[in-house]
Structure 1
Amino acid sequence: MKVGYARVSTIDQNLDLQLQALQHEGCVQVFQEKVSSGIKDRPELQRILEILRPGDEVVVWKLDRLGRDLAHLVELVNLFSDKHISFTSINDKIDTSTPAGKLIFHIFCSLAEFERAQIRERTMAGLAAAKLKGCTGGKPKGLTEEAQRTARVAESLYKEGYAIKLIAEELSISRQTVYKYLEYRGVSIANKNSI
């Protein structure tokens, strides 16, 4: 039995293109989800895993529709293989029911892993070079010019006797930010718990 799986990340996105491709591929059942791939709990994918039997085939429109990331994708395809279930990705032209399809899938995964390792290596080399020059990563210390202006206004309002809550409302910022701005300006706050 061919079982299709279609997924989009948001409710606003449309599944029509995937559904047409899966029906054209001859899928008897098609499971649909509108959920981010990063979310672990995907009920429809779980249902597929529960109903699959040896000899079945899982079909997706593209590889990224199935796995959260490369490791999850490899885990799922290996699970299918262990249960004697084939896997097909229509757009990626991968069909693990054939030896060539298995080879292509594993080459694809190896290349993706190699690319990730290269990116990681370049990032680490860049950070090391920046550190030798005395540069450190992260956001610059202090406040932006706009935040500094807002901090001056917050200080002025506070010194005029406005409560922290009112300053926050007036400037459309949180009370925590008001405290941060006042601290930045060197203003001593009488009672931090006051509203």
Structure 2
Amino acid sequence: MKIGYARVSTDEQSDKAQIDELTAVGCEKIYQEKRSGKSKHRPQLERMCEVLREGDVVVVQRLDRLGRSLKDLIELLDGFKAKKIQFVSICESIDTTTAVGELAFHVIGSIAQFERRLISERTKSGLAAARARGRKGGRKEKLSKSDVKKAKAMLLDPEVTKSEVARHFSVSRPTLNRALSRAY
């Protein structure tokens, strides 16, 4: 039996293209997941692994849909191999039923992991360079210095609560508390 696995990282992303490709190659059952590939706990992947039987074929659109690290991918594939389950990745044209397919899997998995590490290193380097130039990352402050001054003045009145001040500025109480603590 051909069994497909489709995964997207967030609810905003669509897995329709993956589902279409998995259906087109003849997957009879498709497990769909909306979780980051970094997460070890992926209920649909676990459920799929529980029902796999000898002779089944697991199909994914791309390798990174199954796992984010080479270690995780190899662990999964070793588990499949031990149960005599085959694996196919459509985009990378990997079919582990052949020696060449298994080698291709290891090579492409290594390259994918290398690429993710390069992206991470470039991002960290870029953020460090921006900080060195005096740029500060993160979100813009919700309360301006003027707003914090007004909030302090409002809180001098014993009849006014922090919750009321927070509502006045349309922020949460923790946001107000952070702004006040930074101002002191």
TM over 0.5: yes
Q: Counterpart of 1:193?
A: none
CA contact (8 A) 1:157 1:167 kept: yes
State the AA in 2 paired with 1:5.
Y
The alpha carbon displacement at 1:136 in A equals 9.9
| Residue number in structure 1 paired with 2:50 | 50
Change (3 A) 1:21 1:112: closer
The residue identity in structure 2 corresponding to 1:148 is K
Is 1:168 the counterpart of 2:166? The answer is yes
Larger Rg: 1
Provide the TM-score with structure 1 as the length reference: 0.70
Give the aligned partner of residue 87 of structure 2: 87
Helix, strand or coil at the partner of 1:18: helix
Q: Give 1:60's aligned residue.
A: 60
SS state at 2:176 partner: helix
CA 1:105/1:174 → structure 2, altered by over 3 Å: closer, same or farther? same
CA-CA distance at 1:11 after TM superposition: 5.3
Which amino acid is the alignment partner of residue 165 of structure 1?
S
Alignment: residue pair count: 178
Q: CA deviation at 1:101?
A: 0.9
Task: Identify the residue that residue 104 of structure 2 maps to in structure 1.
Answer: 104
Contact 1:22 1:30 in 2 (8 A): no
Structure 2 unaligned blocks of 5 or more: none
Question: Which residue pairs with 1:147 in the alignment?
Answer: 144
SS at match of 2:144: helix
Mark the runs of 5 or more structure 1 residues left unpaired by the alignment: 187-195
* CA deviation after TM superposition for structure 1 residue 104, in Å: 1.0
Specify the code of the residue in structure 1 equivalent to 2:168. E
CA distance in 1, matches of 2:168, 2:56: 63
Aligned match of 1:21: 21
Structure-to-structure mapping, 1:111-130, within 5 angstroms: 111-119=111-119, 126=125
**SS of residue paired to 1:31:** strand
Quickly say closer, same or farther: Cα 1:12–1:30, change in 2 above 3 A. Answer: farther
Distance verdict in 2 for CA 1:120–1:63, change over 3 Å: closer
Q: CA RMSD in A?
A: 3.5
* Mapped partners of 1:111, 1:93: distance in 2: 15
Distance 1:14 1:183 in 2: 41
Contact kept? 2:10, 2:36, Cα under 8 Å: no
